[in-house]
Amino acid sequence: MHHRTLGKVNPLEVSAIGLGCMGMSHAYGSPKDKHEMTRLLHAAIDRGVTFFDTAEVYGPYTNEELLGEALNPYREKVVIATKFGFDLTPNRDPRVASGGGASPALDSRPEHIRQAVEGSLKRLRADAIDLLYQHRVDPAVPIEDVAGAVKDLIRQGKVKHFGMSEASAATIRRAHAVQPVTAVQSEYSLWFRGPEQDVLPTLEELGIGFIPYSPLGRGFLTGTMNEHTKLDPTDFRSKLPRFTPEAMKTNQTLVDLLASIAARSQVGGVTPAQIALAWLLARKPWIVPIPGTTRLDRLTENLGAATLTLTAADLNDLDSASVSIQIHGARYPQSLERMTGR
């Protein structure tokens, strides 16, 4: 597994492909078996993955606990990213934009950040958090105060790197002026290219790494879903406009494009998912996608993209054809979409 560097001011080296761990405990139906997920996490390490993504809200809390226990024997070899920013006190709905349909309560007050970090440190069994993201920008708290709080935590040795999630270019600039941002995480794939307009150019200018989440369109770009796929009501995708049968039927055109590029590859057995991930890796050397999975075969498939080199013709065809494809359905319900791009 090749490695990539996130950030220039405070650089962080990670595997070229990371592992998004949310689905092991949260959002995609019932939580998965702890022992099976532990074996999967260990298999990822055996295959060269060093970068693992979680958040206090996944569960809530149980995903951090899973990673804290499973990765503890490998703590010096791995980088764990977690997130703060939601009010998870009792009687609050903890569902978030990446895993539910309700509009949650944000809380990025400095005192809450400090409290969240103490909890995450205990659950992750860590002396310091490798990469700490603000999960969503809180309009009630100046971003300078948020960055300042994280800066203090870095000085105290409790946090190593500062990150942001789904933030606008302007907000990233303001935060970076107070505490250098190592990485920004946002949804990005061939079926959602919004970051290309303002965010990616800003990150390149400032020397900040980029972490695309949902790089496989929450499973749709793998080619294993279609308009006949029945999603369980406990699967948060069942509440997303982009996953209605009508939208999936129309959006199949993009999957067909990926399949056509895979079919002409000189490397045998290439899949649409690998093409989608290889496209992301080819965009910039400071982009590190974090596809999530709970299955060993899918993990192996995803990591195979790290050694797949797309030709100039492949990249040109993917760019030109995908831009002309109109994707149907919003990625989030309106209440959750409002929480992005602030």
Catalytic residues: 58
The three-state secondary structure class of 165 is strand
80 contacts 44 by C-beta, under 8 angstroms: no
264 contacts 241 by C-beta, under 8 angstroms: no
Query: Tokens 């400071």 belong to which residue?
Result: 286
Residue type, 130: D
Residue 275 CA, chain-centre distance (Å), reads 18
Residue 217: which region, alpha, beta or left (left: phi > 0; alpha: psi -120 to 50)? left
The three-state secondary structure class of 270 is coil
Q: Report in angstroms the alpha-carbon separations of 121 from 58, 108, 127, 163, 281.
A: 15, 17, 7, 16, 31
The Cα–Cα gap between 272 and 298 comes to: 12
Buried b (16+ CB within 10 A) or exposed e, 297-326: ebbebbbbbbebebeeebeebbeebbeeee
